[in-house]
Each structure stands twice: as C-alpha cells, then as structure tokens.
C-alpha cells in the first residue's frame, strides 16, 4: 500500500519535474523507516545460469585479497592498527600538483557555466587531447589523433580490448604479470580451467620471466604461438624494463607468428635510463602488430580521477583485413560514453610544459622511495630486482620461502604490507613486490623496521 506521505511526494515530483532524485528519496525514506522494504536474507534463487567462466576464476582479485588479510590481521591485533604501513597496492599517495589540479578545477568550473557546459563528448575523447597525446608522447608523425582513444584508464581498456578479441583467441602473458591480463582472458571464456598443480589456466601461454632472461620472455624462441601477447614495461610486478633489442625481437616474432601485441606502458615515465624505449611505437614495425595502453594514473596521481588512453594504429589488421581500430571504435561507441570532461581537462594540463614538469617531480619522489627500498633490502642481504626505472621492487626470498608466508611474516613482525609474488602468477612464487608509492616517512619507517628485524646476512 502506498502511504498518504508517498502520494503527496509523488504529486510534488510531477510538479517539480525532478522525478528521479525525488523517487530515490522516497525509496530511501522507506528503506530507512523499514516501513515497506525488507533487507532480510532470502533463499530465493533466480533461474539465470551463472557465467561458467566466472566459476573458473581462482579466489578473488589479488588486491582485495590483500586487503582482506590485512583486515583479518587488524581485527586480531587491534592495538597495533596505527603501525600499519602499506608498500602493497600500487596506488599513488602524493596530492595532485597545483598546475594539473588547476586543469581539473577548470574542467569542473566550466560545467557550472552556461557557455562552458558540455554533456556527452566524443566516445574517443576530445580531439585536442588526442592530438596532444599523439604529438607529445609518441615519436614525431608516428601516431595520428584518430588512432588515439581516450578512456577512463588502462585497466578498463584492457577489458574492452578483450571484449573486442572475444573468446576464440589464445592469450600469452608474462609470468609473473599484472593479474588483469589473465583474469580478463578467463572472464572472456578464452581459457580452460585452472590447473591447481601448475597454477596455470589451460589455453593461456605463460611466458616465464626470470632473472636469467632479465624478466623478459623470448617469444621468438618459443615453439608455441598465441594470438594476443600482453607485455608490460616498466613491468608490474618485476620492475624490469624491456630494452630496444628485446622489443625489436618481440615485434619481429609477432609479425612472423601473426600475433597482436598489447603493450602496457602505464609506467613509462619512470624510465630514466637512457636508451630504454618508453613506447612500443619507438620500435620499427610496431604499427603493424601492436596496440599500446597507457594511463595518467601513475604519471599524475590520477588513480582516482580516471583517465587513460589506448593507441591502435590504422595499419593493424585482423586476418580478414579489417581494421582492429574500427572494432575497438565500435566497442567504445557502444559500451563507453567518453572519459569525464573534468578528467580530460586535467589531461590537457598534464600535457603542458608546467604539467610535464610536475609529473617529473612526482616521479622523482617515487623513484627516490624506490631507491631507498632497494638499497635497504640489498643491505639486508636480499637479491633485489627493479626499482631503478620503475616504482616496484621485486625481492628474491631465501630458497624454499613461500611468498604468502613471507607476506604474513612481514605483516606480523613489522606491520608492513607487501604483495606476495605468487599473486602475479606461478612464476612470482619465491618473490615479494614492494611498492614505492608510499609517503616518504612511511618508506623510511618501513626501512628502519626491516633493518631492525630482518636480515638474510648472518
Ligand atoms: N596496467 C598496469 C601494469 C598496472 O599496474 C595498472 C595499475 O596498477 C594499470 C594498468 C591500471 O591503470 P589504470 O589506473 O589506468 O586503470
């Protein structure tokens, strides 16, 4: 039964026209008072079959799982809650610097004016932003604005790229790798089930990345092929960077084997060593075989703002000759309504001289943290990878130590959160990832605590 109060409110809705928000208020009001809706747990199930691919996924996504274990530790040890330091999830911590922030503010302010207001924009993003990305980030005349798709971030683009490729492709990943490449392949139905023995999904090609190959797989030497190859440099989690010769060999192998390379350059500006490519499009032949995903998340502290982009060259084609770019455009125009106009104004600010200077300062700060962590762990006698051209340190654990055990041990003894290498694939077992995206004082405190409690040198 609708109450008299609800009838009066519905009349107001008609008079005011603001139907949606008022309707919500009515519903909220009823939920709060408990007068009509009940939140009790029901045994009802629908007749909708669960997507079988989701049942193949192992456990939860890695980072929520880390949070769950941290929370379990805290509820068992509430008195040391304030001692927790996170060197875990790769989330930025420094505030957005003033000039870039002024771009975001400008974007928001424009929306409050009659002249500046904009609604839906182009699904691919503003033309002027795409032109700046094409001209300022890539080698001269290499990328055209119509080959750039501005988005709400690299992770979302990886899923959309997978949706475009569909279930009938075989993907290859670096092992260990950023978990999104594997999990999205599973969700799309490209894989079989997880082999609990190997920790690998059937029908994914796992390309081992070890210190012996500088954490970069030799796809050319593998006698198997995959349709789609996911490569990330600077790498999450190993912190390794691919050299010019690694990438040239990869592009050549992709061409020979007819594969498409999805190159994740989300950490490109951390590269400071001369001669290391920051984009796959610095490599000859890449336009015929590669897509690049990228993001302002780690460049400019936009993890919460959400702005990224993907480049798909017009020369990249499927086996029937159709353009990959056209299908991606179809995905974007169907399933995405354009990045936020506020974020895009922030992106414009990132690409100015002042914005670039601020980005460089942010990255200096995190690289300094990475250097502190790297040297501390080396002093303690660990073998450490990464941390030079990347915000991640990949720590080799003493032989026979499981990475989840090391994670728990460090949490319990010094209250520092790390990420177990095994969370990035079976090849990550025996390693821990430390993230440099923490405030300096936290990094220093973590280093001091580690020095007090840990040492493999004896
Ligand atoms: N790619 C890699 C390799 C990452 O490590 C991350 C985030 O940690 C992303 C992409 C996600 O980027 P975005 O915030 O743009 O979705």
The mean pLDDT value for 287-310 works out to 98
* pLDDT the model gives residue 60: 66
- Ligand 1 lined by 207 (C-beta under 6 Å): no
DSSP state of 24: H
The mean pLDDT value for 398-412 works out to 94
Task: Give a yes or no: residue 66 inside a domain.
Answer: yes
* Boundary (domain end) residue, out of 301, 331, 352: 352
Distance CA 125, CA 346 (A): 13
Give the distance (Å) from ligand 1 centre to CA of residue 36.
Answer: 43
Verify that 155 and 10 share a domain, yes or no.
no
pLDDT digits (tens, 9 = 90+) for 55-105: 999 866 677 788 888 899 999 999 888 999 999 888 999 999 999 999 999
Task: Give a yes or no: residue 38 inside a domain.
Answer: no
Verify that 21 and 164 share a domain, yes or no.
no
Question: For the domain that residue 431 is a member of, what is the CATH number?
Answer: 3.90.1150.10
Distance CA 107, CA 117 (A): 9
Give the distance (Å) from ligand 1 centre to CA of residue 365.
Answer: 19
Distance CA 291, CA 167 (A): 19
Distance CA 288, CA 149 (A): 18
pLDDT digits (tens, 9 = 90+) for 102-150: 999 999 999 999 999 999 999 999 999 999 999 999 999 999 999 999 9
Verify that 347 and 417 share a domain, yes or no.
no
Give the distance (Å) from ligand 1 centre to CA of residue 77.
Answer: 32
Verify that 319 and 365 share a domain, yes or no.
no
pLDDT higher than threshold 50 for residue 1: no
Task: Give a yes or no: residue 248 inside a domain.
Answer: yes
Report which of residues 356 and 4 the model is more confident about. 356
pLDDT higher than threshold 70 for residue 390: yes
Task: Give 397's contacts (C-beta < 8 A, 6+ positions apart).
Answer: 382, 403, 406, 430, 431, 432
* CB atoms closer than 10 angstroms to residue 111: 13
Verify that 14 and 74 share a domain, yes or no.
no
pLDDT digits (tens, 9 = 90+) for 182-199: 999 999 999 999 999 999
Verify that 144 and 265 share a domain, yes or no.
yes
Distance CA 235, CA 392 (A): 8
The mean pLDDT value for 364-377 works out to 98
Verify that 302 and 158 share a domain, yes or no.
yes
Distance CA 95, CA 348 (A): 18
The encoded tokens of residue 302 equal: 């936009």
DSSP state of 2: -
Under the banding of pLDDT at 50, 70 and 90, the label for residue 377 is very high
* Boundary (domain end) residue, out of 331, 352, 373: 352
pLDDT higher than threshold 70 for residue 33: no
DSSP state of 50: P
Under the banding of pLDDT at 50, 70 and 90, the label for residue 457 is low
- Ligand 1 lined by 236 (C-beta under 6 Å): yes
DSSP state of 401: -
Verify that 386 and 262 share a domain, yes or no.
no
Question: For the domain that residue 259 is a member of, what is the CATH number?
Answer: 3.40.640.10
Q: For ligand 1, atom 1, name the residue with the nearest CA.
A: 266
Task: Give a yes or no: residue 144 inside a domain.
Answer: yes
- Ligand 1 lined by 306 (C-beta under 6 Å): no
Mean pLDDT of the chain: 91
Ligand 1 mutation target, pool 266, 300, 391, most atoms within 8 A of CB: 266
Give the distance (Å) from ligand 1 centre to CA of residue 285.
Answer: 25
Task: Give a yes or no: residue 77 inside a domain.
Answer: yes
* pLDDT the model gives residue 40: 74
- Ligand 1 lined by 294 (C-beta under 6 Å): no
Name the strand (E) or helix (H) holding 327. helix 324-335
Give the distance (Å) from ligand 1 centre to CA of residue 28.
Answer: 35
pLDDT higher than threshold 80 for residue 50: yes
* Boundary (domain end) residue, out of 324, 352, 380: 352
Q: For ligand 1, atom 5, name the residue with the nearest CA.
A: 236
Per the document, the length of the chain is 458
pLDDT higher than threshold 60 for residue 8: no
Closest ligand 1 atom, residue 156 Cα: 16
* pLDDT the model gives residue 12: 45
User: Is residue 364 classed as helix, strand or coil in its secondary structure?
Assistant: helix
Bridge partners of 392, per DSSP, are 435
The mean pLDDT value for 421-428 works out to 95
Verify that 308 and 392 share a domain, yes or no.
no
For residue 195, what are the domain limits? 98-352
* pLDDT the model gives residue 5: 55
Give the distance (Å) from ligand 1 centre to CA of residue 225.
Answer: 26
Q: Could you give phi then psi for residue 392, rounded to 5 degrees? A: -115, 140
* pLDDT the model gives residue 29: 41
Burial of 342 (0-12, 13-18, 19+ CB in 10 A): buried
Verify that 259 and 188 share a domain, yes or no.
yes
The percentage of residues in the chain with a pLDDT greater than 70, rounded to a whole number, is 90
DSSP state of 270: G
Verify that 251 and 127 share a domain, yes or no.
yes
Task: Give a yes or no: residue 168 inside a domain.
Answer: yes
The terminus-to-terminus CA distance of the chain in angstroms comes to 76
* pLDDT the model gives residue 456: 66
pLDDT digits (tens, 9 = 90+) for 94-109: 999 999 999 999 999 9
- Ligand 1 lined by 310 (C-beta under 6 Å): no
- Ligand 1 lined by 154 (C-beta under 6 Å): yes
* pLDDT the model gives residue 37: 65
| Reduced 3-state DSSP string for 131-173 | HHHHHHHCCCCCCCHHHEEEECCHHHHHHHHHHHHCCCCCEEE
- Taking a C-beta distance cutoff of 8 angstroms, is the pair 380, 454 a contact? yes
pLDDT higher than threshold 50 for residue 16: no
* pLDDT the model gives residue 20: 39
- Ligand 1 lined by 235 (C-beta under 6 Å): no
Of 245, 276, 236, 242, nearest to 387 by C-alpha is: 236
Task: Give a yes or no: residue 239 inside a domain.
Answer: yes
Lowest-pLDDT range of 31-40, 261-270, 440-449 = 31-40
Closest ligand 1 atom, residue 302 Cα: 14
pLDDT higher than threshold 50 for residue 223: yes
The mean pLDDT value for 230-237 works out to 98
Verify that 396 and 437 share a domain, yes or no.
yes
Ligand 1 mutation target, pool 88, 149, 156, 236, most atoms within 8 A of CB: 236
Ligand 1 mutation target, pool 92, 179, 180, 296, most atoms within 8 A of CB: 180
Work out how many domains the chain is built from and give that number: 3
Give the distance (Å) from ligand 1 centre to CA of residue 359.
Answer: 17
Q: For ligand 1, atom 8, name the residue with the nearest CA.
A: 90
Q: pTM higher than 0.85, yes or no? A: yes
Task: Give a yes or no: residue 50 inside a domain.
Answer: no
Under the banding of pLDDT at 50, 70 and 90, the label for residue 6 is low
């Amino acid at each position: 039964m609708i109450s008299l109060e609800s009838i009066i409110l519905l009349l107001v809705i008609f008079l005011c026209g603001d139907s949606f928000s008022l309707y919500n208020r009515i519903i909220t009001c009823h939920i709060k008072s408990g007068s009509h809706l009940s939140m009790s747990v029901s045994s009802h199930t629908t007749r909708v079959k669960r997507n079988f691919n989701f049942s193949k996924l192992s456990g939860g996504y890695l980072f929520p799982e880390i949070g769950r274990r941290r929370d379990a530790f805290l509820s068992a040890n509430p008195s040391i809650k304030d001692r927790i330091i996170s060197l875990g999830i790769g989330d930025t911590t420094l505030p957005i610097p003033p000039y870039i922030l002024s771009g975001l503010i400008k974007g928001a302010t424009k929306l409050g004016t009659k002249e500046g207001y904009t609604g839906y924009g182009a699904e691919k993003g503003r033309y002027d932003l795409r032109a700046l990305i094409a001209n300022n980030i890539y080698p001269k005349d290499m990328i055209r604005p119509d080959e750039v798709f501005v988005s709400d971030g690299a992770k979302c683009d990886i899923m959309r790229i997978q949706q475009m490729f569909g279930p009938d492709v075989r993907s290859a990943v670096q092992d260990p790798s950023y978990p999104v490449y594997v999990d999205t392949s599973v969700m799309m139905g490209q894989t079989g089930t997880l082999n609990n023995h190997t920790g690998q999904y059937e029908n994914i090609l796992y390309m081992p990345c070890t210190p012996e190959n500088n954490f970069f797989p030799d796809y050319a030497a593998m006698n198997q092929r995959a349709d789609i190859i996911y490569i990330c440099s600077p790498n999450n989690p190993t912190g390794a960077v691919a050299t010019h010769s690694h990438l040239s060999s990869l592009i050549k192998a992709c061409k020979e084997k007819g594969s498409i390379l999805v190159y994740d350059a989300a950490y490109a500006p951390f590269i400071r060593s001369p001669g290391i490519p920051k984009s796959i499009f610095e490599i000859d032949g890449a336009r015929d075989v590669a897509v690049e995903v990228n993001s302002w998340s780690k460049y400019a502290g936009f993890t919460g703002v959400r702005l990224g982009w993907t480049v798909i060259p017009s020369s990249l084609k499927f086996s029937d000759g159709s353009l990959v770019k056209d299908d991606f455009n179809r995905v974007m125009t169907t399933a995405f309504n354009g990045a936020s106009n506020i974020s895009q104004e922030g992106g414009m600010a990132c690409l100015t001289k002042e914005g670039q200077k601020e980005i460089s300062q942010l990255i200096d700060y995190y690289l300094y943290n990475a250097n502190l962590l790297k040297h501390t762990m080396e002093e303690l006698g660990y073998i450490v990878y990464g941390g030079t051209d990347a915000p991640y340190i990949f720590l080799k654990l003493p032989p026979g130590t499981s990475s989840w055990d090391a994670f728990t041990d460090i949490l319990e003894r010094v209250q520092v959160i790390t990420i177990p290498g095994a969370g990035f694939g079976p090849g990550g077992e025996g390693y821990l990832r430390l993230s440099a995206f923490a405030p300096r004082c936290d990094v220093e405190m973590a280093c001091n605590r580690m020095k007090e409690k840990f040492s493999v040198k004896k």
